Amino acid sequence: MDTISAESSGSFALGGEFVVNRLGYGTMQLTGPGVWGPFPDPDRGVRVLRRAVELGVTLFDTADSYGPETAEELLREALHPYPENLVIATKAGFTRPGPGEWRMNGRPDHLRRQAESSLRRLGLERIPLFQLHRVDPSVPFEDQIGTLRELRDEGKIAHVGLSEVGVEELERARAIVPVASVQNLYNLAQRDSEAVLEYAEANGIAFLPWFPLATGQLARPGGPLARVAARLGASPSQVALAWLLHRSPVVLPIPGTSSVEHLEENVAAAALKLTQADYEALGNPFARG
């Protein structure tokens, strides 16, 4: 019997409909170098994804641009037919001309085509959460969000999410369609999206922090993160995840990994209990040296 489980992270009703364990899994690392091409060891990728399910992970985040397409294909290979409680979130809004290259494309025809392609690749009748990977400044905002509303009205997607947006864009989008989630860069070391997180919490919107394990200078020897990790007998990355889970009940971290061992380490972080003193030290990293 497993001694660790993502259930320890608590739960959140995504879009008020899909109840997921808050600690999820992101698939970007299950691709080739430069997030390009298939994962070099697909059998290992399958093992990681299946182990995540065994450990209670119920939210899997992916995108059509990961590979491109190969991460979605591997997810289906590993987990289809999907467990009843499993929720897949995918994204569209980038094209991939080559390894490490990302170009925004928010044209309505592209977003629609990619949503329909993701449905086929993932083997779904409806995508639980479909996210605009980036707002394309060359396309009218209302056209991009309006396309997501149309896809929702047609039953092809259940809920709409946005990525890398500010509060003003969230409010503009919500005037067009309900927004279930926002996915912004946010971690212990990078907190520029604090206002977006606070807005999400106030409005019951899921906040999916990408790059959740970054710790920056906080993990330096003798620093606040290193001290908390030592006290808990944990790694700095585990404390970083525990901090995110403690930060707000709407935070749903989606750390990715291509290693079963690292996956198990990440999930074990869900059970870490930070004290208020720990949280204050990490929240104000220079207050105590």
Which residues are marked as active site?
66
Within 8 A by CB and 6+ apart from 115, the residues are: 92, 127, 130, 151, 156, 157
Question: Which residues are bridge partners to 279 per DSSP?
Answer: none
Q: Give, rounded to a whole angstrom, the gap between the first and last alpha carbons of the chain.
A: 42
Q: Which two tokens stand for residue 77?
A: 């290979």
Handedness of CA 27, 59, 120, 180 (dihedral sign): negative
The answer to whether residues 148 and 111 touch, using CB atoms and an 8 Å cutoff, is yes
d(CA 116, CA 138): 23
What are the start-end ranges of the H helices in the chain? 42-54, 70-79, 108-122, 141-153, 167-174, 194-202, 224-232, 236-247, 260-268, 276-283
The answer to whether residues 196 and 161 touch, using CB atoms and an 8 Å cutoff, is no
Question: Which residues are bridge partners to 12 per DSSP?
Answer: 20
Question: Closest Cα to residue 53, out of 20, 30, 31, 15?
Answer: 20
3-state secondary structure of 102: coil
Tokens 């198990």 sit at which residue?
A: 264
d(CA 5, CA 112): 36
Tokens 């994204």 sit at which residue?
A: 91
